[in-house]
């Protein structure tokens, strides 16, 4: 089960699909974690959803820090294995884990110390919502180590070409979370109803179990690559290399989450129902970008190993195959979100006003789905080549533009909430088109002229 896979041989479409499907499954597992929480918290009302959604921004920002080690682990492991340097790959995996543990400890402590002023930033205006958000954030921060380490361990397996093992492990975590959510949120027998705090506790306990299984699988693996001794001396040179590679991606995601917080503040003037609509809507929409991110990770690992092996033609064929599949998914989710917007929201909430706001969100955001898959697929290809700056610059520029666009559309043009949704959609369209143009100019044209990348 815990063994690496060589991605530099075999039929390209078959190899890429076998790698991608478990990674996409892992992404859907993460999405289902969030959807499960939203389903049970939604039964408590829009105020509870708003509280979880607000605190959730800091889990979102945490992923920016995780990316510093995750991207480096994925790319360096893949590239070193591609050139048959297993020792180098293992050393980079170890250094990624060291960096991840340091970041988890620092960020968790920051959240615990400043949880109240951090929640106060959102100007929620409801004492009950504020109290729930602070309590939820406190529990999440206390167990954030497990939320940090699992994506990095997953990326080490993915970079080695073994995407099935992390999928199975994360699936166990999902099953645990789905059982614990109703038990801890609503209570049963001697277990008290903990409400939103139960949702946070269920997630942390499920993540803890995932970490334990990862450690067990790696310790008992027959493949010596996975027997990583984290108690060896910290290699600061490799950590710097990992940070250098992951920094643009981390900055992009960090700014994205900060921009999301500012957008949430703009939305907050429309009440807790609007915040709940945006938070739940983004979770439903994640069916697209979770799928695309999963395939993007597969493309990154595939490109990384073949780049290390200098098999450039194989890279281009794999890139084209990935883009075709992502286009199909992008079009399908556009139709699904647009035509079933109200039904999807009705699964989670019962307030007609929240359903109406949420349905508008999904119908407008549906227009950008194909372009989002275009952006994320090209990002994976760039990352696999170690060129993380280009997708990060494109993402940062158009994400920042969302703020003035949201203000202008919602207030100056009088579009209200729909103006915010249109700002998100338009920026996503441009991100996909511009990043594809960058990849064509920087990589594809060079390959056509020289035969190398």
Nearest by Cα to 8 from 432, 206, 304: 304
**How many C-beta atoms lie closer than 10 Å to residue 98's C-beta?**
20
Block mean pLDDT (10 aa), the chain, length 453: 80 84 82 80 85 86 90 93 94 97 96 95 86 96 96 94 94 93 90 93 96 96 93 95 93 86 86 83 82 85 93 93 89 94 88 90 95 94 95 95 95 90 96 97 94 88
Contacts of 398 (CB under 8 A, 6+ apart): 427, 428, 430, 431, 434
Read out DSSP for 278-320? HHHHHHHHHHHHHHHHHHHHHHHHHHHHHHHTT-HHHHHHHHH
pLDDT of residue 21: 87
Which structure tokens are listed for 267?
Answer: 């939305």
CA distance 125 to 131: 11
Q: Which residue has the tokens 């294995």?
A: 81
CA distance 26 to 170: 6
Q: Are 31 and 318 in contact (CB under 8 A)?
A: no
pLDDT of residue 390: 96
What is the dihedral sign for C-alpha 196, 202, 205, 209?
negative
For residue 434, how far is the Cα from the chain centroid? 21
Could you tell me where the DSSP H helices lie in 340-444?
Answer: 341-348, 352-365, 369-384, 389-400, 402-407, 417-439
Contacts of 140 (CB under 8 A, 6+ apart): 55, 58, 59, 111, 147, 200, 203, 204
Contacts of 192 (CB under 8 A, 6+ apart): none
**How many C-beta atoms lie closer than 10 Å to residue 452's C-beta?**
8
3-state secondary structure of 245: helix
3-state secondary structure of 412: helix
What is the dihedral sign for C-alpha 156, 160, 161, 167?
negative
Under DSSP, the state recorded for 226 is G
Q: Which residue has the tokens 């970079």?
A: 159
Contacts of 414 (CB under 8 A, 6+ apart): none
Q: Are 321 and 13 in contact (CB under 8 A)?
A: yes
3-state secondary structure of 271: coil
Q: At what angle do helices 312-339 and 272-308 cross, to 10 degrees?
A: 160
CA distance 209 to 256: 29
Under DSSP, the state recorded for 225 is G
What is the dihedral sign for C-alpha 349, 351, 352, 356?
negative
The CA-atom distances, in angstroms, between 183 and each of 55, 176, 188, 196, 198 are 21, 11, 6, 12, 8
Domain extents in the chain:
12-450
3-state secondary structure of 228: coil
Question: Up-side HSE of residue 149: CA atoms within 13 Å toward CB?
Answer: 22
3-state secondary structure string across 63-90: HHHHHHHHHHHHHHHHHHHHCCCHHHHH
Q: Which residue has the tokens 């543990």?
A: 101
**pTM of the shown model:** 0.81
Nearest by Cα to 219 from 231, 208, 207: 231
CA distance 200 to 137: 8
pLDDT of residue 244: 94
Under DSSP, the state recorded for 79 is H
What is the dihedral sign for C-alpha 34, 436, 301, 155?
negative
For residue 231, how far is the Cα from the chain centroid? 29
């Amino acid at each position: 089960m815990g063994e690496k896979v060589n991605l530099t041989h075999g039929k390209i479409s078959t190899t890429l699909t076998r790698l991608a499907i478990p990674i996409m499954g892992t992404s859907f597992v993460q999405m289902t974690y969030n959807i499960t929480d939203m389903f049970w918290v939604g039964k408590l009302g829009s105020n509870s959803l708003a509280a979880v959604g607000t605190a959730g921004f800091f889990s979102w920002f945490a992923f920016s820090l995780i990316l510093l080690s995750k991207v480096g682990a994925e790319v360096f492991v893949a590239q070193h294995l591609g050139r048959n340097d297993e020792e180098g790959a293992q050393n980079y995996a170890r250094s990624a884990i060291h960096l991840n543990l340091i970041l988890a400890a620092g960020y968790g402590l920051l959240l615990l110390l400043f949880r109240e002023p951090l929640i106060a930033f959102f100007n929620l205006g409801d004492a009950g919502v504020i109290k729930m958000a602070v309590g939820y954030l406190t529990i999440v921060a206390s167990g954030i180590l497990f939320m940090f380490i699992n994506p990095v361990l997953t990326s080490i397996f993915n970079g080695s070409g073994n995407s099935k093992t992390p999928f199975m492990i994360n699936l166990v975590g999902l099953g645990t979370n789905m059982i614990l959510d109703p038990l801890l949120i609503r209570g049963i027998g001697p277990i008290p109803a903990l409400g939103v705090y139960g949702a946070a506790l269920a997630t942390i306990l499920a993540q803890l179990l995932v970490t334990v299984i990862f450690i067990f699988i790696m310790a008992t693996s027959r493949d010596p690559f996975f027997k990583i001794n984290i108690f060896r001396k910290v290699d600061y040179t490799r950590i710097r290399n990992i940070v250098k590679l992951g920094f643009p991606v981390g900055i992009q995601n960090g700014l994205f989450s900060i921009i999301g917080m500012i957008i949430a503040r703009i939305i907050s003037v429309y009440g807790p129902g609007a915040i709940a609509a945006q938070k739940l809507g983004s979770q439903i929409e994640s069916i697209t970008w979770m799928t695309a991110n999963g395939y993007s990770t597969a493309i990154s690992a595939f490109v990384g190993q073949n780049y290390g092996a200098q098999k450039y033609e194989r890279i281009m064929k794999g890139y084209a195959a990935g883009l075709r599949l992502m286009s199909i998914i992008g079009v399908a989710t556009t139709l699904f979100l647009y035509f079933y917007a109200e039904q999807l929201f009705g699964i989670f909430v019962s307030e007609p006003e929240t359903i109406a706001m949420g349905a508008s969100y999904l119908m407008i955001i549906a227009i950008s789905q194909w372009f989002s898959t275009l952006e994320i697929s090209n990002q994976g290809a760039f990352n696999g080549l170690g060129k993380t700056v280009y997708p990060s610059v494109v993402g940062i520029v158009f994400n920042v533009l969302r703020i003035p666009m949201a203000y202008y559309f919602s207030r100056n043009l009088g579009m209200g909430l729909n103006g915010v949704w249109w700002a998100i959609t338009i920026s996503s369209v441009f991100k996909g088109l511009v990043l594809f143009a960058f990849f064509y100019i920087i990589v594809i044209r060079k390959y056509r002229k020289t035969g190398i990348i």
